[in-house]
Structure 1
Amino acid sequence: MARSSVFDRRVHDVSEVVSFVPYAHVRDLGRSTAFYQAVGLTSVESVERTGRTVWALLAAGSAMLMIAQADDLVDPHRQGVLFYLHVTDVVALRNRLTAAGLAPGPLSHPDHMPRGEFRLVDPDGYVLLIGQLSEAIDG
């Protein structure tokens, strides 16, 4: 029996939230942009001030992330948010990240993600859990 998922739901009511985009402050926007590009996102928009990029929107399909240059130091021990990414091939992405010199954690197969998931920490200490759903999500 197939289980119901919130990811199967389509928005029909105009008063419903239609997008929820994480917005993270980072120490080095260029380094963070390169990190998230290695994960599979593409830089689609950016803002420059006084000759340097201070904000960027990265996306892949319907997934989006905004990052901005932090005014102060970013404390990796105080990042109280976790980003969960669904991918179509968790093993291939983990292999690609390892080949790119990043350090993804071991692949596990918890009950909620039987196709597998792994942990990856970005340059500012934000934790990404990356997992593969049983079926691909249409964007």
Structure 2
Amino acid sequence: MKPLFASALIPLGLAFALPLPAQAAKTAVQAPAAQTHYETSAFAGQWAIMAMDPITVAANKASGPAERLLVTLPESLKKIVGQDHFSLSRTSGTAWSGKQDDLTVTFRLVSENSAQIQITGEGTHKLDLPLYRNN
């Protein structure tokens, strides 16, 4: 092999030996996202639903295991669900949940200004609503 030809092949050989940037990104291990923990006061307030009266969320004054969120649905949702008052206990840093009669209600913060309420009845009945802070 001529020296000039061999020196041209060396950079090509190195290029194939190194990982491509896309391959390097695939093999990088990402650290798990930190679990968000919202204070109880971040959940309280009026939460709007498109074209409906807002949902009211209040916190009791207790702390620890006795701490509860008190959720009041507007009349329009009460007609669908069958009741309008729920007491929820904390299940994570972003969610509260409670079971009353045959309904399970979960209230979850997506961000400081948006949330989601999920009401599940026995069987396949499920109501899942996005909520926005009603300021």
TM-score, structure 2 normalization: 0.25
TM-score, structure 1 normalization: 0.25
Q: By percentage of residues, which structure has more strand?
A: 2
Give the greater-gyration-radius structure (CA).
2
- Bigger relative CO (Cα 8 Å, ≥ 6 apart): 1
